[in-house]
Amino acid sequence: MPTEKVPHEAPQSDETQGNKIRVVSRAIDVLTALSNHPDGLSLREIAHYVKLPRSTVQRIVETLEDANVVIAATTTSGYRLGPTMALFAASMRPFDLSKIARPIVMQLSKKTHENVDLSVLAHGKAVIVDQIPGSHPLKFVGTLGTSLPLHATASGKALLASLPGKELEALRPSLELNRLTRNTITTWDGLMEELRSIRTTGLALEREEYLVGFSGIAAPLVGPNGERGALGIPMPTERFQPNEKKLIKDLLSCCQPLHWKA
């Protein structure tokens, strides 16, 4: 029995593939702009937010409109997200922050070759819920399930900084600021000043505040449903000091999709 020949698609050039990727990226930018303005935007306003020519935006919007991904905001002008987006949203299941952040943890580990931890707030501690060990023989010994003090670790301080004021005040009576090293912050005035700095920069630092000989950095994260976490890199101080600037750059770059900052 003769076999049916399946036609092969001609291989696409790198330029063609690159153009398709740019089109998708631009469409996502348009949808993001509209999601931030639920009452709708004109083509001119969309072009302003996504920094593209109006003619390019018009072509993208017309394509999205054909699929009801965007619709007319009014009978005269403007566009907003359409019913197709509502169907997408309704079909989504709640995300676990550890699953969402996993690619970020992996990417950061690959860049730094250090322990990378994802921690969440539980029972007044920062609890490690995901981790990729670093390749260096000398490293921080925390493992999955390890509980860390909130006031003396980068991840702990990042979690505290991300809390709304009322939640932080509710936690305060039960949080003991015990001295663990000579660098540990043991006063609420000192800790609050540190948290204000973290909210401004989006970055928490720890310089031998939990264990002598170990330092680290962390960034607060927030999931799509408001889940809070902290992405941290603890390591020996002797490796941290000469690499601090690069580590900070890598951390902030990798965690950008979920980065929380006041």
| 122 DSSP β-pair partners | 125
CA 258 – CA 223 distance, rounded (Å): 6
User: Which backbone phi and psi does 147 adopt, to 5 degrees?
Assistant: -100, 130
For the chain, give every domain's residue range: 15-90, 97-258
**Which pLDDT score, from 0 to 100, does residue 133 have?**
85
Token couple for 211: 């264990």
**Which pLDDT score, from 0 to 100, does residue 158 have?**
96
Long-range contacts of 57-61 (CB under 8 A, 24+ apart): 57/30, 60/23, 60/26, 60/27, 60/30, 61/30
**Which stretches of the chain are DSSP H helices?**
14-35, 43-50, 54-66, 83-91, 97-112, 154-162, 165-171, 188-201, 237-254
**Which pLDDT score, from 0 to 100, does residue 45 have?**
93
This model's pTM is above 0.85 = no
- Residue 67: left if φ>0, alpha if ψ -120 to 50, beta else—which one? alpha
Domain 15-90 and domain 97-258, same fold? Reply is no
- In the three-class reduction of DSSP (H, G, I as helix; E, B as strand; rest coil), residue 36 is classed as coil
User: Which backbone phi and psi does 243 adopt, to 5 degrees?
Assistant: -115, 10
Token couple for 204: 């928490």
Token couple for 137: 């023989």
Q: Are 155 and 119 in contact (CB under 8 A)?
A: yes
* CATH superfamily membership of 97-258: GAF domain (3.30.450.40)
pLDDT by position in tens, the chain (length 262): 444 444 455 555 555 666 768 888 899 999 988 988 888 999 999 999 999 999 999 999 999 998 889 998 876 678 999 888 888 777 655 557 888 889 999 999 999 998 899 999 988 899 999 998 887 766 666 777 888 999 999 999 999 999 998 999 998 888 999 999 999 999 999 999 999 999 999 999 999 999 999 999 999 998 877 889 999 999 999 999 999 999 999 999 888 878 877 6
The CATH code of domain 15-90 reads: 1.10.10.10
